[in-house]
Structure 1
Amino acid sequence: MDIRHFRYFLAVAQQRNFTRAAEVLGIAPPTLSRQVQDLEAELGVRLFVREQRQVSLTQAGEALLPEAQATVSQFERAGRHAQRAGRGETGHIELGYVASAVYSGVLQRQVQGFCRESAEVSISVREAPMANLPTMVAEGRFDIGYVRSPMALPDGVEAVRLNAEGFVLALAADAWLARLKVISPEHLQNETFVLPEQISGTLQVARQGGFAPRLGPQPGGLVAVIALVSLGQGVAVVPASVVGHIHLPGVVYRPIEGCDVMSWLSLIHRRFEKSAAVARYIEHARCDFRLHEMAPRD
């Protein structure tokens, strides 16, 4: 006895006629009759009273009817749930990010867009230190993560390149540099650099200026970096998206003349991802970025 027998039983119970039930099921009437007889033999009871033109349920058939309906319904629901999970429409995602993903707006746009499309996939979103995030993805503590590239990734972790942006200089409003109309990399050779988590911008600006940078503290997130700048602890080379999002007393932002240094956000993930929901998010991020890049700029 399997789910097929219950489907056949329900068709006959609904149509009250073997021929019509066989047409609905797309099988021959003798086949349907034999399958119902097999079910009756398995249960040891008669389910139908067979008359010349129609059939009616016996007491045993009446008792089986709601149970068979519930069983078939549960079977179909289980199948649909498995199919949806296989398509990534249900599940859970652990997502880590660095602060600059928030300042750029990419994190908000992609997470909210995915949640609208896949409402039954739950997402836990947490900020994490950028130095640790790739390893946490590799070890499975996060499924995906937004980091600022370029940066080294452990084996088994890949990156989807997203939006690129340049750098600006954060400095104290009363610093001598703030009085210059144009700040070039060469002007920074005697400055102490407060370091964000992604230091490639600082190193490349110093390389363009032809000097070895004097490296100061590396306090962590960008708010902490700008806080130290406001306290006169040095200058900082930070992503341009910070401008307009982090406002602290005594801090100004200036472009760096001739600086073509770029960084970009990346979505990192395990190379051989098994979760369909995570794979669905990765594809959503790719599509979202392509659409955003093609959108006309004001």
Structure 2
Amino acid sequence: MELRHLKYFIAVAEELHFAQAAERLGISPPTLTVQIQEIERSLQARLFLRSKRSVALTTAGAAFLEEARQTLAQFEHAQHVGRRAGRGETGRIEIGYVGSATFSGVLQQQLRRFRLAWPEVVLNARELVMDELPGLIEEGRVDVAFVRLPMHLSASLQVQVLWRDSFCVALPAEHPLAGVDLLLQPVKARELAEAAFIVPEQVLGTHEVGRRGRFEPRIVAAPGALVAVLSQVSLGEGVAIVPDVLASAVAMPNVVFRPLAGKPVTSEVAALFRKREFAPAVMHFIRQLQNDGKADGVN
């Protein structure tokens, strides 16, 4: 028995007239009669009592009608759900991010906009170790990742830059370079030659400061996450080269931020995703990221 048989049966049960049901279905009355007979043979039960003047449901027919309607309704619901998922109106997107993406506001902005456009798509965002994110995307465990460049990536991944900022130096308040009279003066790289460094996941800034000052940074801790980095700076354990957005985004006791002298040491917050993506909802999210990158001129 096929779904078309259920449609034929329901039409006859509702019309209680073979000719009218056949017209509703767009088939001939003899063809409809044959189809109903096939259903009855399959069920080994009579579904209709027929005379020259009337058609009525049998007890078996009435019971079958209720189940047929439910089955057909479930099938139509499944089709509807499948079509919506195919259009990307529903689904789930796994998002991984590095903490600095939240301090810049890039991640919040992207999630907010996408939820407004596609409210029935579930976004599951988690902070993860940045170096692990490319592999998680390739494995299919993460769909889109927000990271801080540069980082080594395989050819299977695509990058969309969303935000550019510069690095500054975070100092314990008691550090000689953290005096109130010095706050607006940029710190020269060579002034940090004797410092102990606390490094975040993105070590670009730290190494660039060392290169400019012609010294090898003495790294005493690498907690990774920016809040953990600033916590250690606040405890007086060292200095840190961090994105300058933290100066206005984070108020950490005993931490002073100062700009770096010379050409800005820049970094980029970017989205990573698979070049070959087939999930419709994820494709919608990627298009949003790409369009925003173009609009902001950060391609």
Structure 2 CA distance for partners of 1:165 and 1:52, relative to 1, 3 Å: farther
- Provide the identity percentage: 43
d(CA) in 2 for partners of 1:3, 1:202: 67
Q: Tell me if 1:158 matches 2:162.
A: no
Matching residue of 2:200:
196
CA distance in 2, matches of 1:18, 1:290: 62
Cα displacement string for residues 136-171 of structure 1 (whole angstroms, at most 9, x for unaligned residues): 333344333221111112453333322222222222
The one-letter code of the counterpart of 1:31 is: T
Deviation, structure 1 residue 69: 0.5
Measured after TM superposition, the shift of residue 280 of structure 1 is 3.8
Against the structure 1 CA distance between its residues 27 and 116, is the aligned structure 2 distance closer, same or farther, given a 3 Å change threshold? farther
Match 2:223 to one of 204, 219, 224 = 219
User: Is 2:257 aligned against 1:250?
Assistant: no
2:31 matched to 1:31?
Answer: yes
- The residue identity in structure 2 corresponding to 1:199 is V
Please state if 1:75 is matched with 2:71: no
SS at match of 1:282: helix
5+ residue gaps, structure 1 = none
SS at match of 1:249: coil
Q: 1:237 to 1:70 in 2, by over 3 A?
A: same
Give me the whole-angstrom Cα distance separating, in 1, the residues matched to 2:159 and 2:22. 55
Task: Note the C-alpha offset of 1:4.
Answer: 0.3
Mean Cα displacement is larger for which, 53-62 or 214-223? 53-62
Q: What is the aligned partner in structure 1 of residue 243 from structure 2? A: 239
Aligned residue in 2 for 1:129: 129
Amino acid at match of 1:260: P
2:245 matches 1:229: no
In structure 2, the residue corresponding to 1:243 is in which secondary structure? Answer: helix
AA partner of residue 2 (structure 1): E
RMSD: 2.9
**Does residue 183 of the first structure (1) align with residue 190 of the second (2)?**
no
Give 1:58-69 correspondences, 5 Å limit.
Answer: 58-69=58-69
Larger deviation, residues 264-273 vs 44-53: 44-53
Query: Residue 57 of structure 1 aligns with which residue?
Result: 57
Is 33-42 or 71-80 further displaced after alignment? 33-42
Return the TM-score normalized by structure 1: 0.82
1:270 to 261, 274, 298: 274
User: 1:66 Cα shift?
Assistant: 0.3
Which whole-Å CA distance do the structure 2 matches of 1:10 and 1:82 have between them?
Answer: 24
5+ long unaligned stretches in structure 2:
none
1:260-293, Cα deviation, whole Å (9 max, x unpaired): 33222222233334544433433344445567x4
Which residue identity is paired with 1:200?
L
Q: How many residues align?
A: 292
**How far did residue 120 of structure 1 move?**
4.4
Q: Kindly tell me: are residues 53 and 282 of structure 1, through their superposed partners in 2, closer, same or farther at Cα, counting changes over 3 Å? A: farther
Contact 2:96 2:127 in 1 (8 A): yes
**Shift in Å at residue 205 of structure 1?**
4.1
Instruction: Give the Å deviation of 1:7.
Output: 0.6
Name 1:11's counterpart in structure 2. Answer: 11
Q: 1:243 to 1:21 in 2, by over 3 A?
A: farther
Q: Does 1:139 align with 2:139?
A: yes
SS of equivalent residue, structure 2 residue 269: strand
Measure, in 2, the Cα distance between the counterparts of 1:233 and 1:96: 29
3-state DSSP of counterpart to 1:244: helix
Deviation of 1:116 (Å): 4.6
CA distance in 1, matches of 2:229, 2:127: 16
TM-score by length of 2: 0.82
